[in-house]
Amino acid sequence: MQPPLILEPSLSADACVIWLHGLGADRYDFQPVAQMLQQQLPSTRFVLPQAPSRPVTINGGWAMPSWYDILAMSPARAIDQAQLESSAQTVMDLIEQQRDSGIDPARIILAGFSQGGAVVFHTAFLRWQGPLGGVLALSTYAPTFDDALQVDTTRRHLPVLCLHGSQDEVVPLFMGRAAHDCLAERGVSVGWREYPMGHEVVLDEIQDIGNWLAQRLDRQTTD
């Protein structure tokens, strides 16, 4: 697996955002967004990992960067669970690396777009047991959330922001909303933002993300 793209801040790093790209993209996909956000967050490191290239069943078996194989689209996404678990382990390894470098895990945010967001949801609520600073879920869904999902007391205080396009034809709005509602029903501090866009990222959304991150990571705001 290729190493992540690491964007160091202008000041000494005291926080970190680990941001996963979507299906078929790469670690450079969100580099411009991260650099824009670092102007508002001058002490936040951004870590942009790269998914391995592998065959994707729904795309005719063509190999492309993918956090896990998608076997079927409906009625719900059928996925390769073992590959999802491997990707979640990759994220946990990155959390531990940042922790070992001196970043408090309570100041580490997990972010993910589309398939990357599904990995982030799974990691934050079903795998990682330690503290976290929050979750950003962009145009995504939660294939491993179900009625049996249990959220312990510490996770209910984890800030989560779900952002989705009302015209998204790749991950329909109802899939993102279902993930949000699942967490809200379990008492998680989860917010929802909706934009008149497709399966993409727009400036208004980036501005909302920057403000949300600043509320949690800006020392002048939190201290």
- Asked whether 83 and 69 are in contact (CB, 8 A), the reply is yes
In this structure, the strands spanning 78-79 and 70-72 are: antiparallel
Q: Which domain holds residue 21?
A: 5-222
pLDDT at position 26 is 97
CATH number of the domain at 52, please: 3.40.50.1820
Kindly report each contact of residues 147-152 with a partner whose C-beta sits within 8 Å and lies 24 or more positions away, as own/partner.
Answer: 149/125, 149/182, 149/186, 150/186, 151/125, 151/183, 151/186, 151/187, 151/188
pLDDT at position 183 is 97
Q: Is 29 a catalytic site residue?
A: no
pLDDT at position 155 is 87
Within the chain, residue ranges assigned H as helices are 31-40, 81-100, 115-122, 153-156, 173-185, 203-217, 219-222
Of 76, 87, 92, nearest to 172 (Cα)? 76
* Number of compact structural domains in the chain: 1
pLDDT at position 222 is 44
CA-CA-CA-CA torsion sign (123, 104, 108, 154):
positive
Nearest-angstrom CA–CA distance, 170 and 144: 18
pTM: 0.95
Quote the crossing angle between the two packed helices 81-100 and 115-122, to the nearest 10°. Answer: 70
Helix, strand, coil percentages for the chain (3-state, nearest 5): 40, 20, 40
Q: Which of 114, 122, 139, 164 is catalytic?
A: 114
pLDDT at position 221 is 45
pLDDT-flagged residues of the chain (< 50): 221-223
Q: Is 164 a catalytic site residue?
A: no
Q: Is 204 a catalytic site residue?
A: no
CA-CA-CA-CA torsion sign (190, 195, 198, 201):
negative
pLDDT at position 1 is 73
